[in-house]
Amino acid sequence: MPPAEHKFWPGQASQADRRRARQSIVLEDVGTTQATLERYYLAVSRLAPVLESVNSEFQLDELVSESVQAEFEDGTPLHLVADVLSGLHHFEPFTRKKLGKSWRSYSIWRRYEVPARAPPLTQDICLAMAVYCLHINELTLAALLLLGFHCLMRTGELLQIRPCDFLLDDEGGLVSIPSSKRGLRNNSRESVAIRDLTTLETVRAMVILRQQLNMGNVPCWDRSGSTFRSLFRRILDALEIQHLGFRPTAYAVGEQLMRCNLTVLWSVRSLEGAGKIPMLPEFTSVTGWQCCRASG
């Protein structure tokens, strides 16, 4: 079996069936995705000149720690240094628990450098962006923006959604996410309910159009991720709100909260009464958001 591919297999009743189901499966290989392996490889390759001069375990930690400091001074993104350390442990397991000084340098860096996060979109801005998309004949982008805001979906999840992943009726709908972070961790497939009528009708129009083109089993967004980001910036420029610093991840409020690991109180009762945001749930913590999304 190809390494780093997530393959799920059903449990079997008998030992013979289990033996057949597990044939040619290497547990260590299926534990890491191909995308993660590629990140690790590229990151550790940056460390190759340092590793070539290592003569002892003590020297390894000292030199890697110096490399972390050099990357810090050079303006390297923090996540790349995390990939370097994690990748080194992955490819050379004997280094586990032997890079204490390196991990301490990384922890100090992470603790004191405030991440540059995109501000979350408001509903009014998201609706304005969707209207502009329809104005320039970008129905798919309009539907995906509304879907991402309403269902708290990550950009990567949005770009994988296919017409066949939707179940829609007159009052609501359900979207099954082909591949999500929590789904991969829990060996399950997440689904999210669609209850906002504006989102529902826009998504329905997109699905009907894609099915008429016999593209029901391919992603709704059939262009590149860079094209998605380019169109996103074009919309911001057209609406003259580019100075606010929105990015394609800004509508995924749930993703922002997950990464920040914050405890929040997001009460929308007053807005619901005004008819402003009828689709967002109330939750009191990140765990509450997780449960809400898992249950749709």
Backbone angles phi, psi at 283, to 5 degrees: -140, 155
Cα–Cα dist 158/23, whole Å: 34
Mean pLDDT of 29-33: 76
DSSP designation for 283: B
Beta sheet of 173-176, edge-to-edge order: 166-168, 173-176, 191-194
Comparing 110 with 292, the larger pLDDT belongs to: 110
Q: Is the pTM of this model over 0.85?
A: no
Tens digits of residue pLDDT in 181-227? 665 555 667 888 999 999 999 999 999 999 999 999 999 999 998 99
Q: Kindly report, residue by residue over 263-277, the tens digit of the pLDDT.
A: 333 333 333 444 444
pLDDT tens, position by position, 100-154: 999 999 999 999 988 777 777 888 889 999 999 999 999 999 999 999 888 888 8
The pLDDT > 90 percentage for the chain reads: 46
Q: Cβ(293)–Cβ(281) under 8 Å?
A: no
Q: Where are the domains of the chain?
A: 32-112, 123-295
Strands 166-168 and 191-194: unpaired
Query: 146 vs 278, which has greater pLDDT?
Result: 146
Q: CA 180 from chain center: how many Å?
A: 7
Which secondary structure element, helix H or strand E, spans residue 107, and what is its range? helix 100-112
| Number of Cβ within a 10 Å radius of residue 76 | 16
Write the burial class of residue 172 (CB in 10 Å: 0-12 exposed, 13-18 middle, 19+ buried). Answer: middle
Q: Give the per-residue pLDDT at 202.
A: 96
Whether 175 and 192 have beta carbons less than 8 Å apart is answered as yes
**Domain spanning 123-295, CATH architecture:** Orthogonal Bundle (1.10)
Closest CA to 145 of 161, 165, 168: 161
